[in-house]
Amino acid sequence: MKRKGFDIEALRINDTGPRNRLILACMIAATVVMQMVAERDGRCLRPLTDAFDAADQPLLEALSADLEGKTDRQKNPHPKGSLAFASWVCARLGGWTGYYGKPGPIVILSGWTEFQSIKHGAYIAQSIHHRAS
C-alpha cells in the first residue's frame, strides 16, 4: 500500500499539519481497502456498513448491474448489502476482469478511488437537480 498504492513517501509537503492529515486519510483508506481485500470472498459475511455508508448501497447495486458481464464469472456472486458485494464492485472498477486470480489491494484501491469519484459526481448531479426543481 505504501509505494504502489498511495506513494506517501513521494509527497513533498513540509508543513506537518496538512501532511499529518493526509497521512491519516491514507491510513483510513488503507484500512477500508484491506477490509475489502479480506472480505473479497465473502467468508465472514461482513456487512457493507463496516466500510461504506448505508446510503452507498443503491449506487453500489447500480454499478454492479452495469459492471456485470454475460458469464457467471463476470456476475457479482455476493449478497447485496455485504462488504464482499462492495469489494467485487470496487475490484471491477479497478480493472479486475473476474477471470485471473483474486483482486489485490492495488486493484481494489484503484476501484475504491473510482467509486468515490462516481459517488461525488452523483452527489453533484443530485444537488444540481434539486436546485433546478
Dihedral in degrees, nearest 10, Cα atoms 97, 103, 106, 108: 80
Task: Report the percent of the chain where pLDDT is more than 90.
Answer: 60
Q: Is the pLDDT of residue 1 over 60?
A: no
Residue 88: partners with Cβ closer than 8 Å, 6 or more residues away: 40, 64, 76, 77, 78
Find the length of the chain: 133
Element (H, E) at 2: none
For the domain spanning 2-132, the CATH number is 1.10.740.10
For 3, phi then psi, to 5°, come to: -85, -50
What confidence tens digit (pLDDT) does each residue in 60-102 have?
999 999 999 888 888 999 999 999 999 999 999 999 998 889 9
Q: Domain locations in the chain?
A: 2-132
